[in-house]
Chains A and B, each alone.
Chain A
């Protein structure tokens, strides 16, 4: 509601619009305000509280007591923090290569083909299946001697006796596979939207010039896909840094915490140990890293995009 109160006087104070760029200042603000408002109030404000808690010792009851940087110091001294950091990095690298690459492959192969959208469907269904069922099914597949081992055995391939979810870093790698299973279709869908927005004329012209297959993709589609590539990579970057659900559901962090990611460490400190301060410190660290990674990537991509 405060949005109305703030914006209402603006209508009367703004001059009649003319066709200069500056004159859209107020309507530009009006269009942007709802997004800023809703995100600021419901996401930033609560996180401010978390940030404050990270400088305190707090078990969720009574009042937090200020401890300055103690939680951060303890975090960097904890050997498990390094394991978490390493696993998180594997997740980032894995997520921006495998599901993004597969998404791009699926999108470019299926786009423009007859029944292409139907061939794409098998990749989208995993995303539509609810988490409860996905968790159970992947436990079928990945537990020792489970579906994956049985399949390898039947095909005469090695690795059937691997302990998929117990040994590091194998457990992280197979979970990245499971995540790719869910995410590739979504990425493909986003790439398809990008392909749809590519104008037909230059493509036709290139085709008449004899371009096809890989060369067509490399020189025509790929540069024009850039805005949506930014979307897909940007989202994967952020999501992979925050990886939690699948690790928690499949392994609870793995034997001896060997599959733990930063988000799992954060969750364990806060919700299992009720050490809200320590958990919040990890959350703040994680958010800052994610934010810096996202802003660095987006700035480079978006400024490059403008020069194209």
Chain B
């Protein structure tokens, strides 16, 4: 009998896993949301309160709410969504990226088309028609815009007031402003070598030659073109001339602007929300202006915008409701709620944005004075982007001859575009 005890008892350990916590099992399918709830996944986990605020509005007016699951790590989020299509845990609604990320999903026929929803929204004036092309692959449109942001120059009003500076309207004026604060011991511009290292490349190139900027993202131009090299040399001059803050300083941009470490930050309009969160008041403590073109002869001012899609998986558990939700998301009711919850602009010009500075920008952007250009981050195919971010982060940390960096990026671009046939 002793042996019997031994074997049985020794196996207890292996079965304990099941025995000890079988009762704790809540079943495997909480993922499927209840009636009136659609499962929603996003890599912007920090925006949960804002999404839930809009969900409250939709529950009243649409009878549908969001069952929110947030990720804080964009890379793992992407992997999760990709793998979920192999299972029946695919999300009803999820945020994604335009460009090659979107094309990957379309190539495998995983998304529900939204061409009709878009047409109705455009007819209704809810979304600028120009935006549709960024959501269209081979003539069919997918997803709806989740948010929109413009890239502008934020500045610390106290610093500007102290040195009697006004918002510049030309590149020359901008540099005069920068020289003035620099002469007074304040670093003009924010710079970082993590993730957002591409920002000044984007600004300088888009403000110098927007055609080249677009051609670069479609593979029609090379990173070693003289125009690109020239922009890199200009950037290098500014880096070496002390126009930028320490790229290795990991202090959050809002804290750097607040503390007066830097006078200006070239950033997306979502920085407004972050500045508000550190108790800076829009229009009083900070303001922003559209960055003037480097090349004064261009007919329109280049304005960088970014937009992230909100997509519906084909054959998702609640596909119909999810499409309904996507349709509602573009309305001015949804966008007013969203923009004000986030403290950001909206793609819908009819949305009532409370923040006056942002509301003005929302209106202006629709006028003919601006040429909207897609943010470098979305416009560039992922493998090329990865190489470029690595290159730019090294460049801002140790400015030097840009040619080796550009050649490395171009090698990646050659490989990518040749594989695309």
B33 to chain A, nearest CB (A): 24
Residue among B247, B251, B393 with the highest chain A CB neighbour number at 10 A = B393
Q: Flag whether B215 is at the interface (Cβ < 8 A).
A: no
Q: Flag whether A3 is at the interface (Cβ < 8 A).
A: yes
Q: Flag whether A144 is at the interface (Cβ < 8 A).
A: yes
Given A10-B7, A11-B4, A61-B82, is A256 in contact with B397 using a C-beta cutoff of 8 Å?
A: yes
Given A16-B3, A165-B248, is A272 in contact with B75 using a C-beta cutoff of 8 Å?
A: yes
Taking a contact as CB atoms closer than 8 A, the residue among B105, B107, B248, B391 that contacts A256 in the complex is B391
> Are the C-beta atoms of A60 and B83 separated by less than 8 Å?
yes
A62 to chain B, nearest CB (A): 5
> What is the CA–CA distance of A10 and B11 in the complex, to the nearest angstrom?
12
Complex: chain A residue closest to B6, CB-CB: A27
Q: Flag whether A37 is at the interface (Cβ < 8 A).
A: yes
Complex: chain A residue closest to B251, CB-CB: A143
Interface string of A1-17 (1 = CB under 8 A from B): 10110010011001011
Taking a contact as CB atoms closer than 8 A, the residue among A30, A62, A271 that contacts B11 in the complex is A30
> What is the CA–CA distance of A30 and B9 in the complex, to the nearest angstrom?
9
Chain A residues closer than 8 Å to B10, beta-carbon distance: 27, 30-31, 33-34
> Are the C-beta atoms of A258 and B394 separated by less than 8 Å?
yes
Chain A residues closer than 8 Å to B107, beta-carbon distance: 61-62
B82 to chain A, nearest CB (A): 3
> What is the CA–CA distance of A272 and B101 in the complex, to the nearest angstrom?
11
Interface string of A155-194 (1 = CB under 8 A from B): 0000000011110000000000000000000000000000
Number of chain B residues close to chain A: CB under 8 A: 44
Taking a contact as CB atoms closer than 8 A, the residue among B78, B79, B250 that contacts A143 in the complex is B250
> Are the C-beta atoms of B11 and A256 separated by less than 8 Å?
no
Complex: chain B residue closest to A164, CB-CB: B248
Number of chain A residues close to chain B: CB under 8 A: 44
> What is the CA–CA distance of A267 and B79 in the complex, to the nearest angstrom?
11
Q: Flag whether B85 is at the interface (Cβ < 8 A).
A: yes
Given A27-B3, A144-B248, A144-B249, is A61 in contact with B386 using a C-beta cutoff of 8 Å?
A: no
Interface residues of B in 167-208 (CB under 8 A from A): 193-195
Q: Flag whether B104 is at the interface (Cβ < 8 A).
A: yes
Q: Flag whether B220 is at the interface (Cβ < 8 A).
A: no
> What is the CA–CA distance of A53 and B30 in the complex, to the nearest angstrom?
30
> Are the C-beta atoms of A144 and B246 separated by less than 8 Å?
yes
Q: Flag whether B277 is at the interface (Cβ < 8 A).
A: no
Interface string of B357-389 (1 = CB under 8 A from A): 000000000000000000000000011001000
Q: Flag whether A59 is at the interface (Cβ < 8 A).
A: yes
Given A34-B13, A61-B105, is A11 in contact with B382 using a C-beta cutoff of 8 Å?
A: no
Interface string of A39-65 (1 = CB under 8 A from B): 000000000000000000001111000
Among B14-22, B157-165, B299-307, the one that faces the other chain is B14-22
> Are the C-beta atoms of A3 and B14 separated by less than 8 Å?
yes
Q: Flag whether B119 is at the interface (Cβ < 8 A).
A: no
A264 to chain B, nearest CB (A): 12
B410 to chain A, nearest CB (A): 16
Interface residues of A in 125-175 (CB under 8 A from B): 139, 143-145, 163-166
> Are the C-beta atoms of B195 and A274 separated by less than 8 Å?
no
Q: Flag whether A255 is at the interface (Cβ < 8 A).
A: yes
B132 to chain A, nearest CB (A): 24
> Are the C-beta atoms of B3 and A26 separated by less than 8 Å?
yes
> Are the C-beta atoms of A252 and B194 separated by less than 8 Å?
yes
List 8 A-B pairs, Cβ < 8 Å: A4-B11, A27-B10, A31-B10, A33-B14, A59-B104, A145-B246, A166-B247, A273-B386
Apart from A11-B3, A33-B14, what are 11 other A-B pairs with CB-CB below 8 Å?
Answer: A3-B14, A4-B11, A26-B7, A60-B82, A61-B107, A163-B397, A166-B397, A252-B194, A255-B393, A272-B75, A273-B383
Residues of B within 8 A of A (CB): 2-4, 6-8, 10-11, 13-15, 17-18, 75-76, 78-79, 82-83, 85, 104-105, 107-108, 110, 193-195, 246-251, 382-383, 386, 390-391, 393-394, 396-398
Q: Which 3 A-B pairs have the closest CB atoms?
A: A256-B394, A60-B82, A34-B14
